[in-house]
Homo-oligomer: A and B are copies of this chain.
Amino acid sequence: MANDKKLVEAITSMNDDFAQWYTDVVVKAELIDYSSVKGCMILKPAGYAIWENIQAELDRRFKETGVENVYMPMFIPESLLQKEKDHIEGFAPEVAWVTHGGLNPLQERMCVRPTSETLFCDFYANEVQSYRDLPKLYNQWCSVVRWEKETRPFLRSREFLWQEGHTAHATAKEAEERTQLMLNVYAAFCEEVLAMPVVKGRKTDKEKFAGAEATYTIEALMHDGKALQSGTSHNFGDGFAKAFGIQYTDKENKQQYVHQTSWGMTTRLIGAMIMVHGDDSGLVLPPRIAPTQVMIVPIMQKKEGVLEKADELKAMLSDYKVKVDKSDKNPGFKFAEQEMRGIPLRIEIGPKDIEANQCVIVRRDTREKIVVSLDDVAAKVGEVLETMQNDMFERAKAHREENTRVATDYESFKDIITNKQGFVKAMWCGDVECENKIKEDVSATSRCMPFEQENLSDVCVCCGKPAKKMVYWGKAY
């Protein structure tokens, strides 16, 4: 039972070494395995099942806004990648190049898509002719490749799974509305489903996407005080349309350029969830995303009637995703396993419980034990799952609020970033020089200019010149 041994060994404590804790959790909760392909990971069943749930829920939300799914080739000819100059500069250093097909060298090398703006633009240039063809609201679910030097499971890997939405609109206004709409879809998904509060805002020019006019982002705060960019939505204006010649005939029979957006979310979200909700016993999954919501652990399962009752209990809970752990491990071991895997609820049921017509529900997040009559168990499980979902969100939000601090002078700014971590709210003059200096001094970056602006001071926290924007700063994954 090699797998069992791995699980019972204690994992590193969060406070001792957060990075090692994270690595321990992703491996011991059996979410991923390392592969023979450097920098690429294997998503194991427990990890992929979370992604399937994320996909299903996001896809439903996208389709409610009129989005349709398509699939584009995974290769981009070099000449196509080069059509938009900021874009090629941003991505060329980190793409994988295919140079041979079978036994022959290719006439033109192709990269494996790092993102598919160029392919969608090429497609739209053919597809869009009249205002009647607009808007185009397409999305694809696929994997992309970026040749990163340093990799970490879920957070940064050479290949990752994501969705990328690409839209084309008749007007700048519509494109801006779509950019913000999708950011709101992302934010609502993170908060409602992943129980993960996010700050919505705009990226500075330094941090925006290669080729975008504006990049909007949702930023979440991890347990260790580092920020994680959790989803981005870009407004391209008509920049790509001009580079690719995507024009339509308007109602007055004039040629116009389209306005475009793109927006993406990735398997990073799984890493974010781990670092927002996990604890020293392992993963803690929000009930709404958990592939298994309830693990029933029979106690003294060899006694007559115990396993049968556990199955009956499972049948009573058919509205939820429930499993019964009938393995021959002892209950303590099964508890540790269920906790490591982050299954939201455990239900313990043994001979004494059966005699009393009851069972014991244990919450993964608080370890609270709730004794409940078998007559009420279905309703109670629903209620506890709901409460747990809400409590997880509130706890994460409280953690973020405790770790969001204001700085109005550079010394305290540096002190907070260095010694306390978390988000720092501070005013900024709008100059990239200050962003560069802050990065050099304390390795922090501007996370976003939040939509909810506050006037904390009249001057830039870094240079003292007049301030233009309040910015969330932090160290980031």
A74 CA to B157 CA in the complex, in Å? 12
Which residue in B72, B74, B161 is a CB contact (below 8 Å) of A71? B161
Query: Which A residues have a C-beta under 8 Å from some C-beta of B?
Result: 1-3, 33, 35-37, 40-45, 48-49, 51-52, 68-77, 80, 92-103, 110, 112, 119, 122-123, 126-127, 129-130, 132-133, 138, 142-143, 145, 147, 158-159, 161
The A contact surface, by secondary structure, is mixed
Assembled-state Cα–Cα distance A68/B48 (Å): 9
**Once bound together, how far apart are the Cα atoms of A424 and B332, in whole Å?**
64
Bound Cα distance A297, B392 (Å): 49
Q: In the complex, are the beta carbons of A37 and B71 less than 8 A apart?
A: no
Q: How far is the CA of A97 from the CA of B41 in the complex (A)?
A: 20
Evaluate contact between B102 and A99: CB separation under 8 angstroms: no
Known: A77-B37, A96-B100, A96-B101. A45 touches B71 (CB 8 A): no
Q: Could you tell me if B94 and A102 are in contact, using CB atoms closer than 8 angstroms? A: yes
B74 with A145: CB separation less than 8 A: yes
**With contact pairs A33-B123, A80-B36, A130-B2 given, residues A69 and B45 touching in the complex (Cβ less than 8 Å):** yes
- Bound together, the chains give a CA A73 to CA B159 distance in angstroms of 7
By beta carbon, the residue of chain B nearest A68 is B45
Tell me the nearest residue of chain B to A72, going by C-beta: B42
Q: How far is the CB of A67 from chain B (nearest CB, A)?
A: 10
Instruction: State in angstroms the CA–CA spacing of A101 and B70 once bound together.
Output: 27
Specify which chain B residues have a CB less than 8 angstroms from the CB of A122 in the assembled complex. 35-36
7 residue pairs from A and B, CB less than 8 Å apart: A1-B132, A36-B77, A45-B138, A49-B68, A51-B71, A97-B99, A98-B98
Report how far A158 CA is from B175 CA in the complex, Å.
34
Chain B residues with CB under 8 A of A43: 70-71
> With A76-B37, A122-B35 in contact, is A71–B97 under 8 Å at CB?
no
Q: Which of B37, B73, B76, B101 contacts A147 (CB 8 A)?
A: B101
The 9 closest A-B pairs by CB, nearest first: A40-B73, A45-B68, A101-B147, A43-B71, A97-B100, A37-B73, A102-B147, A2-B129, A99-B99
**Number of identical monomers bound together in the oligomeric complex:** 2
CB-defined contacts of A138 to chain B, threshold 8 Å: 45
Q: How far is the CB of A251 from chain B (nearest CB, A)?
A: 13
Interface centre among A71, A94, A95, by most B CB within 10 Å? A71
Q: Which of B73, B98, B145 contacts A97 (CB 8 A)?
A: B98
Residues of B within 8 A of A99 (CB): 97-100
Task: Tell me, in angstroms, the Cα distance from A75 to B94 when the chains sit together.
Answer: 16
Quick one: which of B1, B35, B73, B97 contacts A35, CB cutoff 8 A? B73
- Chain B residues contacting A97 (CB-CB under 8 Å) are 98-101
B-chain residues with CB within 8 Å of residue A68 when the two chains form the complex: 45, 48-49
Question: Beyond A43-B71, A102-B95, is A123–B48 a contact (Cβ under 8 Å)?
Answer: no
Give bound CA distance, A99 to B98, whole Å: 6
Q: Give Cα distance in the complex from A132 to B36, angstroms.
A: 24
Specify which chain B residues have a CB less than 8 angstroms from the CB of A100 in the assembled complex. 96-97, 99
| Residues of chain B within 8 A of A74, CB atoms compared | 40, 74, 112, 143, 145, 159
Given contacts A69-B45, A74-B143, A75-B40, whether A112 and B98 have CB atoms under 8 Å apart is yes
* A97 CB to nearest B CB, Å: 4
- A75 to chain B: which residues have CB within 8 Å? 37, 40, 96, 159
Q: Are A33 and B119 in contact (CB under 8 A)?
A: no
Interface centre among A73, A99, A127, A132 (most CB of B within 10 A): A73
Taking a contact as CB atoms under 8 Å apart, the answer to whether A49 and B69 are in contact is yes
Chain B nearest CB: distance from A105 CB in Å? 9
Identify the closest chain B residue to A70 (Cβ): B48
Q: Taking the nearest CB of chain B, how far is it from the CB of A34, in angstroms?
A: 9
